[in-house]
Amino acid sequence: MKFAHRIQNLKPEGAYRVMGLAQALEKKGRDIVHLEIGQPDFSTFPPIAKEGKAAIDAGFTRYNPSEGYSDLREAIAHYSEKRGIAASPSQVVVGPGAKPVLLFPLLALLEKGDEVLYPDPGFPSYRADIEIAGGIPVPVPLVEANSFSFDLEALRSRITKNTRLLILNSPANPTGGVISNSDLQEIAALARKHDFWVLSDEIYSRLVYDQSDAESIYALDGMSERTIIVDGFSKSYAMTGWRLGYAIMPNALAEKVSLLLMHAVGCTAGFTQRAGIVAIEQCDDAVSDIVKQYQLRRDQFVQGLNQIDGFNCRLPEGAFYAFPNVSEIGIPSSTLAERLLNEAGVACLSGTDFGKNGEGYLRFSYAASREQLAKAVERISSFVSTL
Ligand SMILES: Cc1ncc(COP(=O)(O)O)c(C=O)c1O
């Protein structure tokens, strides 16, 4: 069968692929520790779930505005203001998850041949979406020694007259790194000088530890007119399956992205949006509680990994991922991840599932119970001692 050029490189996300393999092993009776998929193990917070159920009964089950309910957009604008992001509700576009509002701005902005800089290792949908939208993906390496921020020299050297957009992700998947304010300032200066857009994926902005704060590049001088913030409810409020995300962008672009949503998905489920209002307005304490729990898990897990020969893991500042450097073990990352699943019963991802620069690393999601995390460390440790 002949397919369009724009999808020729599409492949499954590592997390979904490995989850399938792990479940197949479980069907055969194997016990697997699941650290592969990036989703909270907590249930959606009770007030959110209650509001969603009540909203179904109250009839929020019909078509609604493509860009989202106006009161949810207002609540998002208000929440963003508290983060230093001055945006009007008309700049907020709601979608079924962060994923569609990541793709649609690219579809709205990219012409064939436009170059898009993106982090490598980085969330796999970036490269896929750039290609679907007809752009040319230009990976920019992240550097472990710089808290997994960009190698700024490498970033500068990749900017050309065709650079149309740069994707940022802080706190980051898969590294857990947070971009420092001084790096953000330099990146913003480059965007202004070379006149390109910045798409800043801030879906993990509420999950930061050790008093770190994930600032938004949107708040820096001259950036609001060239920045698209992508955010969502999946990670902070344990709402992955509800499908609720949003993006903030200049009004003219918001109108175009709303049209793309109208034609591609119609709208976001009304009851999901009602639940989202409760999440954003009433769940700050619940979020603080889970952040504390993730931090305890992070500390326990990273300390455990660092006691294993050949594992060197930085303490991630945000998100819920550990990204240990395993290059000393001397086995390609994808083989090591495969062997950990098949021989040790620990499901994790190869760093190369996030791009070529992920070679030498593994990604573990520590959004799992402390017992499961302890079991994983024990299993990895005894597996490594047999090598
Ligand atoms: C960096 C990043 N951006 C976006 C998403 C998509 O989130 P959503 O569930 O809201 O579509 C994810 C999910 O894994 C992610 O890790």
Confidence at residue 376, expressed as pLDDT on a 0 to 100 scale: 98
SS (H, E, C) 121-177: CCCHHHHHHHHHCCCEEEEEEEEHHHCCEECHHHHHHHCCCCEEEEEEECCCCCCCC
Contacts of 77 (CB under 8 A, 6+ apart): 87, 88, 89, 91, 92, 248
Q: Is the CB of 38 under 6 A from ligand 1?
A: yes
Residue 118 and residue 139 in contact, taking contact as beta carbons nearer than 8 Å: yes
Distance from the first to the final alpha carbon of the chain: 44
Tell me which of 17, 203, 243, 354 to substitute to probe ligand 1's pocket, judged by most ligand atoms within 8 Å of the beta carbon: 203
Tell me which of 13, 123, 175, 205 to substitute to probe ligand 1's pocket, judged by most ligand atoms within 8 Å of the beta carbon: 123
Closest CA to 317 of 167, 185, 175, 141: 175
Closest CA to 241 of 23, 86, 43: 43
Q: Which residue has tokens 């009770």? A: 46
> Which atom of ligand 1 is least distant from the CA of 15?
14
φ/ψ of 154, rounded to 5, equals -65, -35
Q: Is the CB of 99 under 6 A from ligand 1?
A: yes
Q: Which amino acid is at 113?
A: G
The number of beta carbons lying within 10 Å of the beta carbon of residue 161 is: 7
Residue 45 and residue 238 in contact, taking contact as beta carbons nearer than 8 Å: yes
- Whether the full predicted model's pTM is greater than 0.75, yes or no, is yes
* Full pLDDT tens readout for the chain, 387 residues: 999 999 999 998 889 999 999 999 999 999 999 999 999 999 999 999 999 999 999 999 999 999 999 999 999 999 999 999 999 999 999 999 999 999 999 999 999 999 999 999 999 999 999 999 999 999 999 999 988 999 999 999 999 999 999 999 999 999 999 999 999 999 999 999 999 999 999 999 999 998 767 899 999 999 999 999 999 999 999 999 999 999 999 999 999 999 999 999 999 999 999 999 999 999 999 999 999 999 999 999 999 999 999 999 999 999 999 999 999 999 999 999 999 999 999 999 999 999 999 999 999 999 999 999 999 999 999 999 998
Confidence at residue 214, expressed as pLDDT on a 0 to 100 scale: 83
Alpha carbons 242 and 257: distance in angstroms, whole number: 21
3-state secondary structure of 262: helix
The full DSSP string for 204-252 is TTT-B-TT-----GGGSTT-GGGEEEEEESTTTTT-TTT--EEEE--HH
> Which atom of ligand 1 is least distant from the CA of 233?
10
Helix (H) / strand (E) containing 377: helix 370-385
> Which atom of ligand 1 is least distant from the CA of 39?
14
218: CA distance to ligand 1 center in Å? 19
Q: Which residue has tokens 């009304």? A: 270
Query: 211-240: b or e for each residue (b if 16 or more CB lie within 10 Å)?
Result: eeebbbbbbbeebbebbbbbbbbbbbbbbb
Confidence at residue 12, expressed as pLDDT on a 0 to 100 scale: 87
Tell me which of 76, 142, 235 to substitute to probe ligand 1's pocket, judged by most ligand atoms within 8 Å of the beta carbon: 235
Q: Is the CB of 318 under 6 A from ligand 1?
A: no
98: CA distance to ligand 1 center in Å? 6
Confidence at residue 294, expressed as pLDDT on a 0 to 100 scale: 97
> Which atom of ligand 1 is least distant from the CA of 245?
10
Confidence at residue 90, expressed as pLDDT on a 0 to 100 scale: 98
29: CA distance to ligand 1 center in Å? 31
How does strand 163-169 pair with strand 197-201?
Answer: parallel
Confidence at residue 210, expressed as pLDDT on a 0 to 100 scale: 84
Alpha carbons 41 and 235: distance in angstroms, whole number: 10
Peptide bond between residue 316 and the one before it cis (omega within 30 degrees of 0): no
Confidence at residue 50, expressed as pLDDT on a 0 to 100 scale: 98
φ/ψ of 199, rounded to 5, equals -105, 115
Domains and CATH numbers, the chain: 5-44+285-385 (3.90.1150.10), 62-282 (3.40.640.10)
Confidence at residue 247, expressed as pLDDT on a 0 to 100 scale: 98
Nearest CA to ligand 1 atom 7: 98
Tell me which of 234, 243, 354 to substitute to probe ligand 1's pocket, judged by most ligand atoms within 8 Å of the beta carbon: 234
99: CA distance to ligand 1 center in Å? 6
Residue 194 and residue 163 in contact, taking contact as beta carbons nearer than 8 Å: yes
298: CA distance to ligand 1 center in Å? 20
328: CA distance to ligand 1 center in Å? 31
